[in-house]
Structure 1
Amino acid sequence: MSKEFIFILSLFLSIGISAQEFKFEKEIINYGKIKKGEDGKRIFEFTNIGKAPLIIEDIKTSCDCAVPKKPDQPIMPGEKATITVEYDTSNSGGFSKEIIIFSNAKESRKRIKIKGYITK
């Protein structure tokens, strides 16, 4: 086989491997109005709608006040999984925070959001 054919074949295989996708039940969770010190834990549920295992490599937030927890294992096609976000509710006022998910999906960076208002 020629080197060009092997290169093209490997390119198609790598594209096929990274063609996973995931669909969230909700991409924005609105806490609404909550009291200072209340439970700030919320859960994003999603499904791997791709044809290969989905691997969540990392999750970043726009501040240290929101702590995400990613799935430890790959999510198989058709499986549901969750990402838990715990927001620090010790400060009052409005908030809107972005959570960025890094994965092997077709869209390698996925953005979801939490928002709400903490009363005194």
Structure 2
Amino acid sequence: MKKLKITALLAVLAFAPFYANTFAVENPSLVRIIADAIKWKSESIDVGNIPQGKPKLIRFEFTNTSSKPVVIENVAPSCGCTTADYTKTPIMPGKKGFVEASFNAAAAGPFMKTVNVTTSESKTPKTLSFKGVVVA
């Protein structure tokens, strides 16, 4: 009986490497294709010093580098002090689009804000950021 258990164990171990290669692994080229569908001109912008009480418009531009149209599905600013606008029509391959954030600089001091963008190419939001200093 002991020899049977050892033989069975050796048989399982002998075939284990064969089965280990049969499961699909995430394809890195697919990840690269999804990541490259939109090429942002800049994902982070330093606006420097801005005057208090005057809204500041920050524009993020991108190019559709995929082979099909891209639609911006949602743009979500990180706080109520920021509003957003964006290209509402489908962005054709090779064409440019934008996301704009208007920051209401009410309080003096340094700030850093984000805008999350969801597109038809990726349901995972892309986080764009901008920072600066509000001067009184």
1:43 aligns with 2:62: no
2:119 aligned partner: 103
Q: Which has the higher helix share?
A: 2
Secondary structure (helix, strand or coil) at the match of 1:40 reads strand
Deviation of 1:90 after TM superposition, in Å, equals 2.0
Give TM-score scaled by structure 2 length.
Answer: 0.70
* Unaligned ranges ≥5, structure 2: 1-29
**Greater RCO, CA 8 A, separation 6+:** 1
Does the 8 Å contact 1:45/1:82 carry over to 2?
Answer: yes
Where do 4+ consecutive residues of structure 1 move more than 6 Å?
none
Deviation of 1:38 after TM superposition, in Å, equals 3.4
Amino-acid identity (%)? 28
After superposition, give the CA deviation of every residue in 1:55-113 in whole Å (9 maximum; x if it has no partner).
10011111011111121100000001111110001221111111100111246421110
2:78 aligned partner: 62
1:93 aligned partner: 109
Structure of higher CA gyration radius: 2
Deviation of 1:37 after TM superposition, in Å, equals 2.5
**RMSD over aligned Cα atoms:** 2.0
1:34 aligns with 2:53: no
C-alpha distance in 1 between matches for 2:129 and 2:76: 12
Give TM-score scaled by structure 1 length.
Answer: 0.78
C-alpha distance in 1 between matches for 2:119 and 2:132: 27
Matched pairs, number: 104
